[in-house]
Amino acid sequence: MKNVLRDIAERVGISHSTSNDDERRLIDRLRDHLQNEKYLIVIDDIWSTEAWETIRDALLNNDHGSRIITTTRNSTVASHCCSGTGYVYKMKPLSPADSRSLFLQRAFGSEDLFPPHLENVSGGILQKCEGLPLAIITMSSLLADQTAEEEWNRALAAIGSSLAKESHAEALTKILSLSYFDLPHPMRTCLLYFSAFPEDHIIKKRNLIHKWIAEGFIHEEPHRSAYGVGESYFYGFINRSLIQAHDIKYGQVETCKVHDIILDFITCKASEENFMTTYGDAEHRKKHKIRRLSVMSRYSEMAAVPGDLSHVRSLAMFGNFGQNSLLSFPALRVLDLGECRDLENSHLTNIGKLFLLKYLRLGSDKITELPCKIGDLQYLETLDIKGTTIAKLPSTITRLQRLTRLYVDYMSPSESMENCANLSDGIIGQLQSLEELENVHVCPSRIKMPLVELDKLTNLRTLSVSILYPLHFCHADGAEDVGRFVGILISSCNLHHLRIDYMAELTIWGLLSLESWRPTTPSVLLEISITNYHIDKVPNWMISPVNLRALDISLYRMGPEDVEILGAMPVCFS
């Protein structure tokens, strides 16, 4: 509930941070803020009467004509929301005409492109969908761009006999089952992995695919990396309407969500196949080995997960770590504690004994250091410590010679801006397998050493750097070195994605010139992003990199020549 209340607080304009507020404090702040306001608030998918009581307590009736609209799939909750005053509107199925329009629009992009020989069979399919939008979208995505009548007849037969004899839930389950079994086996496995996430959770594409890789669900193919294979699966799920795109940047989907009904189906299927166990039904699995475990706890004093956990390959925790011990999970390949806000250094004491670990994500700001034993994780491929307050990596990390992805924290306390040792301590350069390095810090006063470190990383493809200016640093003393640093990175023959951010404690008035720094030819650079610093002009060489697809820069002044160069870029999408 705290997350819901924080979201409401942010959207109604409460500017001060609410990250440390408990539920009672959030309610009080909302009441104070809204007491003299007229507001309209829409809250989607209320799941219990208790949740509604908490929300109603925060959104006081101030007699200013304010209104609250809620949606729910539970009729009891709907009636409870409207007790006293209010009205329950029950959604009706789509009309036959609207059903047909939605179906054809999703399947062919336009009703005009619909082949006439499919008219009869499409009518049968729509009749069985009974006006349920999700059923129509699922079926249309399954049959998209298929024009063979036998394929449509097969889909119609697979749904089963007349759905008039069944509930909407049973009908939808049959339709989702058809879409599920139409997937290739590797994609089915990857789809079941969504059962690890809570309802309405925003899922990061990158994290998800790296977990698939660590689990061994996807592998490198000729002319395509394992990540590329995983990305094709991800977009395949979107095209089939099994997941929904959420955040999109530079034309690429970065996060997704799963519709609650589809998530229910996936969770049931994962449970049937003993693929994923959600804490709460673990006691029902004592006869089976728990392979993957997802723990969703709202309680700060959560007891340890019971049962034999020695076979668990994947552990994801949302909420609190509680009294659990990593020693209970010796076979882990994937450990995602990025959503455990109560995680502390002491919880990681035995992490070096997870010898098979390939993916590790931490996100608690109470984590200030990594144990030296982290160097014992010889199979570790992904280390994500964004959101922690780790200021320095242990020297033992150099033993992680399989580490291909390292994500550290982006922000740094202002008092430690000068202590930017991430690229200057000789550690990073020894991680020869690194392909992605994100959110490392560099200080202008020591900017030459990072270039030496980065030059050793011949496999590096993605680099995100934050250049930090302390309060006492005079920009004129190092602006030339900064420009050289950026230019050399742009000229790299290996990088595909380069992101540079300038973080300063005072305004930096200098202009950055990129004209003399040209990428290698042929260039493999796909993305350049330079934020919080002005570029003097668009460099002429930007016409030539045929692969550049994303450009994010700030110009001091836009001139006709700049517009002409940008317009001449051959492939850039955004």
Provide the 3-class DSSP secondary structure of residue 363: coil
Domain boundaries, the chain: 2-81, 96-181, 185-265, 410-574
| Predicted local distance difference test score (pLDDT) of residue 417 | 46
> Can you point out the beta strands (E) in 333-407?
334-340, 359-362, 382-384, 405-407
| Predicted local distance difference test score (pLDDT) of residue 164 | 41
The pTM score is: 0.78
| Predicted local distance difference test score (pLDDT) of residue 419 | 42
CB 162 within 8 A of CB 128: yes
| Predicted local distance difference test score (pLDDT) of residue 284 | 46
| Predicted local distance difference test score (pLDDT) of residue 169 | 66
| Predicted local distance difference test score (pLDDT) of residue 241 | 86
Per DSSP, 512 falls in state B
| Predicted local distance difference test score (pLDDT) of residue 353 | 94
Fold of 410-574: 3.80.10
CB 291 within 8 A of CB 313: yes
Among 404, 531, 509, 416, smallest CA distance to 462 is for: 404
Among 475, 536, 476, smallest CA distance to 504 is for: 475
Report the Cα 162 to chain-centroid distance in Å.
39
**pLDDT tens string for the chain (574 positions)?**
777 888 888 888 887 766 667 788 888 888 888 888 888 989 888 878 888 888 888 887 778 888 889 888 777 888 888 866 778 888 888 899 999 999 888 888 888 888 888 888 888 888 888 788 888 888 888 888 788 888 888 888 877 543 444 456 676 788 888 889 989 999 999 999 999 999 889 999 999 999 999 999 999 998 899 999 999 999 999 988 899 999 998 788 999 999 888 898 999 999 999 999 887 544 444 546 889 999 887 554 455 676 778 899 999 998 888 778 899 899 999 999 999 888 899 999 999 999 999 999 999 889 999 999 999 999 999 999 998 888 888 889 999 999 999 998 744 444 444 444 355 567 888 899 999 999 887 766 555 566 777 778 889 999 888 776 654 454 555 556 666 777 777 777 688 888 888 766 545 556 777 777 767 655 678 888 888 777 888 887 777 756 778 888 888 788 888 888 788 777 665 5
Q: Spell 468-493 as b/e; 16+ CB within 10 A means b.
A: bbbeebebeebbeebbbbbbebbebe
